Amino acid sequence: MQEMKDAVARILNSANKIKNTGDAITAVLNKLIFCPFCDEYYADSSALSEHIISKHASHLTSTAVTVDTHEVCEGAETIYICPHCHFAVDESCTSPTSTMTSHIDSHSISLVPNTKMAFQISNDSKLIDTYINGSVKAEIYLCSVCSSILSSKEALLRHLYLSHSDSNGKNVSADTIKIIEDCVEELPERNAVKRKYGSKYSF
């Protein structure tokens, strides 16, 4: 509890243009880091990573894949990957999306129609290097929120934090809102303004 109060106070002290309690709540919610898999939230990314490792390990499993062929060249920054055989092309391909779509269609014979998936996209430089170096075996980590592919558990944890930890659609407990409101009461700036303008200042 005290830990959360300290974190909220830190966020409020570094935030600009807080004119009322509503602004304060928005500023804090924008900075809090929410678990993509449940309603827990944290003030720093390492706490989120620890939480995911201990509570959602099933979202961090890797798959060993064998890459037979690919068209990924030196300098590639984005690759498009077939989820079935892990064939990949890079962004220099004339039309990576249509190449991948027709490639995936070529699997149809062996795939039940509804198991057909869209291709996946990765910007993970380590995974791209694995392709460029021609390694035939790779461990891949699939993000269960958006299907991005990453090359390590650390990269996946970082991706979950960077891409899927905002407050959109998350439940924030009444206790947290209360903590924010309490911290607003104690904001030094607000108290200074209050001293200057007295009770006319509504916030």
Residues lying near Zn ion in the complex (CB under 5 A): 35, 37-38, 40, 82, 84-85, 87, 143, 145-146, 148, 163
Instruction: Kindly list the distances between the CA atom of residue 118 and the CA atoms of 101, 127, 156, 179, in Å, as whole numbers in the listed order.
Output: 7, 19, 20, 43
Which residues partner with 89 through β-bridges?
71, 80
Shortest CA distance to 106 belongs to which of 135, 98, 122?
Answer: 98
- Closest separation between CB of residue 156 and Zn ion, Å? 8
For residues 6 and 50, which CB has a smaller minimum distance to Zn ion in the complex? 50
For residues 8 and 89, which CB has a smaller minimum distance to Zn ion in the complex? 89
- Closest separation between CB of residue 13 and Zn ion, Å? 27
The whole-angstrom separation of Cα 163 and Cα 200 is 43
For residues 7 and 82, which CB has a smaller minimum distance to Zn ion in the complex? 82
Residue 133 is given by DSSP the state T
For residues 110 and 199, which CB has a smaller minimum distance to Zn ion in the complex? 110
For residues 21 and 176, which CB has a smaller minimum distance to Zn ion in the complex? 176
- Closest separation between CB of residue 100 and Zn ion, Å? 9
For residues 149 and 184, which CB has a smaller minimum distance to Zn ion in the complex? 149
Region label for 22, one of left (φ > 0), alpha (ψ between -120 and 50) or beta (otherwise): alpha
- Closest separation between CB of residue 188 and Zn ion, Å? 34
Cβ–Cβ < 8 Å for 96, 118: no
- Closest separation between CB of residue 173 and Zn ion, Å? 14
Q: What is the 3-state secondary structure (H, E, C) of 67-81?
A: CCCEECCCCCCCEEE
- Closest separation between CB of residue 25 and Zn ion, Å? 22
Helices 21-31 and 174-185 cross at an angle (nearest 10°) of: 120
At 151, give phi and psi (nearest 5°).
-100, -5
